[in-house]
Each structure stands twice: as structure tokens, then as C-alpha cells.
Amino acid sequence: MSAVASGSQGSREAQSLAASVKALTSMLEEPTKSTICASQLHATCVSIQNAIHSSPTVAAQVKLAKSWPQLLRAGIKFLTRKQSPTRFSAMVENLSRCRCNLDQPGIKELHSPTSLDSSLNNSELTQFTNIIHLRFSVHTVIDCIQLALYGQTKHKFRSEKSTTKPNEDQPWPQDPEDLLPFGPEDSVDGIELWAEGPGGYYMYKLATSLALYYHPFSRAMVRPPDYAFAMVRASKHLTGVMDFYDEDPSCAESQDLFEWPITVIFDYFQLLVNHDKFYAMMKATGNTISPVLARLSAILAALPAKDWITDTRVGIEVLSSFANNDLAGMRKRTAPIANTIRDPVYDAFAEMAMVRKGGCANTTCPNTSGTVYARLCSQCNVMRFCGEHCQKEAWKNPLFPHKVLCSKIAKLKEQLGKKAWAQLWTEDMTTAKFLAQPKRPMDTKNVEAIGRILTDIKAFKMALSDDIPWSSRT
Ligand SMILES: [Zn+2]
Ligand SMILES: [Zn+2]
Ligand SMILES: [Zn+2]
């Protein structure tokens, strides 16, 4: 295994990693019967997190996470199981307990990780600490699931099954039922149980991964008329972060308490912007979300500039424009912030990466089931179509003929060369990293044109898929 060093220490680590994965998996499989102590669970997850973070590349991390299909299968069930709030709290209570005899050798050490407040003694290993431990386990499971789905093409479930492996060892996910065993609707309810309270923001990381990969989940996640999970609870997490900031502004330095909750929620919001109910949702929840956004905007504007802060401020302006129904003013307000980090070439590459991972690119695609595996256009190698019908229709589309875009992208592909082009779509490559490499030969005007067309198609699709007339949206 690439993540583990060789030698005797390496094999000991590998053994303890395997044991950790096994322990976590068995808790996830039977959470109500589990007798593992919360502190032990925490130690188990620390060893899994260490293994992930010591992997040298994202591709290696993905490979490692994918090598634990049983954990992923049990994990998704654990996190998406719909149950009554009473049963849920009983399960959480069971998992936040310590039943250890602290007098036994080696056991006490396990209960005093250095990260804990040293003033806590045995009897003060409180429920609270144990709940934090449980949350850490939940975050670890989500990290594994997110990695396993990372960079996967939408709806591309595995087709090759190994005949020598039993079912539970087959790569995850095999099919929609393997991805979401309780179905999209109930899974949203299950996820929402975990989304409440401190650390609950992490469920939006899970939701983002699932929605990017599987369209039916994305659809189930956004629920009129109150949009409780999709918008209201997400914005409550932002309010929680800001309340904390008001009490102690130094928390802005903390990734854990400040940066991560905000970026997870905004990554999720960014995904929502492409949702076909986005406009309707912003109209319905505008009054709730507007003050939250305004408050966050003021806090972030006063902090030293960082890329993630700038990104978030752009996101706030976009959302506010929708929430306040002021789309005309949007570009004017986002441009001065965005210009400090963005350029049209960057946007074009980022858009291409998004489109390439997405489903059918035909704007009039009749397929709404979302369970289609779309094929890549062999010429541009970016746009996908669910079949010949869609490819033909898109080719001659009166507004956005694929014929035009296809030749522009093909030209870029040619200029960059085979090697660089292939590199663009690998798991380890981000747009920023690609563009930071030594100058690539490309026609910048052509790239900007690609970006403009892709952005227009996105806006058009968004307008089409809602019941809002196109004219009122510009
Ligand atoms: Zn214990
Ligand atoms: Zn199609
Ligand atoms: Zn093409």
C-alpha cells in the first residue's frame, strides 16, 4: 500500500490501520449494539485520518479510501438512515459512552489524548467530550466517502465486478442502491438528523459530494416549501460561526471553528446555484438568508484578504443578489471582488472541468431520470451526451450549437498537446495548479470564448429548468 512506509514499523502501522478500519466499520454496521468506547473510537479515527493525510497525493488518498468498501458501505447507511429523533438520540447516546475500566493498563492513556484539556480527570471525561469524539468519527467517515466519490463522473457506477470477491468487497458504489440504500428522499431525512448541532455543518460536505455525483439526490435535497435542510439549516450553521466570532474574534484564525464551516457551506451553496429550484428557493427564503449574508459579508470584509475569504465574499454577493431579487446589480458588485483573484482563462478551465464531470450537455435533453451515463464527445473530449439523439440535437442547437463550441475546445486541446490535456482531468489536478505551471501555448481569446459560451449555457439551463420566465431573470 503506497501510504504505508516499508519495514517492520510500516507493517505494524498497516496492521493497526487495518484494525482501525475494522473497528470503525463494525461500529457503523451496528451502531445501536456497539460497545466501543467513544475515546477508543476517536483513537481509531485518528489513525485513519493520519493514514489519509500522510498519503502524498489526492490520487493516493482516493485510492486508500476506495480500498475500504465495507467501511464506505456501512458508513453511508450510518449517515443516511432515517429514524425517529428518539431513536437517533438513543443511538448517539450509546455511541458517546465510555464503559472502560480506567485502572487497566494502557486504557487510561487512551482516554487522555493530548488534544483534550489536561485539567479533565477521569470522572470529568464528560458526555460532551465524547460527543466531540463521535462527531470526529462522523467527519472521518464523510472524508472517506467524499474521497471515494472524488472526481467521479456523474452517475458512472462501476460496471466491472470482480468475480473472485464477495459482494461486500466489491468497489463502492456499484449502483444507485449501493450508493444510497434508503433512497434519495429518506437519505436526506437521515442526513438532516446529523446536521443539527455543533459539527453538523460537515453533513453539507457529504451532501455536496452526493449531489455532485448523483442527480436524484440533488433533487431530493432541495425541498419546497420551507427548504429546511437545503437553506435554512445551512444558514443556521453560518449564524453559529458568527455568534462564536462575536464572542471571541480570535476564532477567525481557526480552521476548525471558522474557515472550514464557512467554506463547507459555501462549497455547498455554489453547487445549489446550478440547481433547478435555486431561484424559487432564494425567493422563498430570501428574508431569512439576507441578514445572515449581510452579517457575514461585514465580518469577512474586515479580515485580512485570503483566497477563501475572497471566494466566499463573491459567493455572498451572488446569493444576496438572488435573495434580494437584484440580479441586474450582481455583476457590478461581484466584479470588483472577483477581479482580485479571477481571470477569464481560469473561469473557462474551471467550467470545462465542471461540465466534463456532469451529465448530458444537451440543453434540450429529454432525459430527466438522471440515471444516465453520458458519453464524452470524441472530438472535444469535454461535453457529454447521453446518446446520439442528444449529440445531434446539440450539434445544431439554434442558441448554442455544439458545432461551434466543439471546434473551439478541439483547437485548445490541440494547442495544449495530448499529455497536458490528459493531465488536466486527473484527480490531482486543480485548475489553479494547471495554470500555475510554466506557460502553456494557447490562444487566450479562444479560451475566453469557451468560458463565455459555457457560462451562458449554464445560465440558460438554470432559467429553463425553473418555471420563471427567462425575461424576468436578466
Ligand atoms: Zn472508555
Ligand atoms: Zn441527453
Ligand atoms: Zn464536442
Mean of pLDDT values over 337-344: 60
82-110 pLDDT, tens digit each: 999 999 999 999 998 888 877 777 777 77
The DSSP symbol for 375 reads: E
Q: What is the pLDDT at residue 474? A: 31
Q: How far is CA 87 from the centre of its chain?
A: 28
In the predicted model, what is the mean pLDDT of the chain?
Answer: 84
The DSSP symbol for 250 reads: G
Q: How far is it, in rounded angstroms, from Cα 189 to Cα 196? A: 12
pLDDT exceeds cutoff 70 at 332: no
Q: What is the pLDDT at residue 372? A: 57
* Smallest-distance ligand from the CA of 129: 1
Residue of higher predicted confidence among 5 and 307: 307
How far does residue 375's CA lie from ligand 2's centre (Å)?
Answer: 10
User: How many CB atoms are closer than 10 A to CB 68?
Assistant: 22
How far does residue 244's CA lie from ligand 3's centre (Å)?
Answer: 49
pLDDT exceeds cutoff 80 at 53: yes
Quote the cell numbers at residue 74. 456501512
Q: DSSP for 215-275?
A: HHHHHHHS-TTT-IIIIIIHHHHHHHHHHHHHH-GGGGG-IIIIIHHHHHHHHHHHHHTTS
Q: How far is it, in rounded angstroms, from Cα 86 to Cα 470? A: 46
Domain ranges of the chain: 1-101+125-159+167-221, 225-342, 344-473
Alpha helices for 81-213 (secondary structure H): 85-95, 107-110, 127-149, 176-179, 183-195, 203-213
Q: What is the pLDDT at residue 263? A: 95
Q: How far is it, in rounded angstroms, from Cα 173 to Cα 161? A: 11
Q: How far is CA 236 from the centre of its chain?
A: 19
How far does residue 384's CA lie from ligand 3's centre (Å)?
Answer: 8
* Smallest-distance ligand from the CA of 388: 2
- pLDDT bucket at 454, cuts 50 / 70 / 90: confident
471 contacts: CB under 8 Å, gap ≥ 6 = none
pLDDT exceeds cutoff 60 at 120: no
* Smallest-distance ligand from the CA of 100: 1
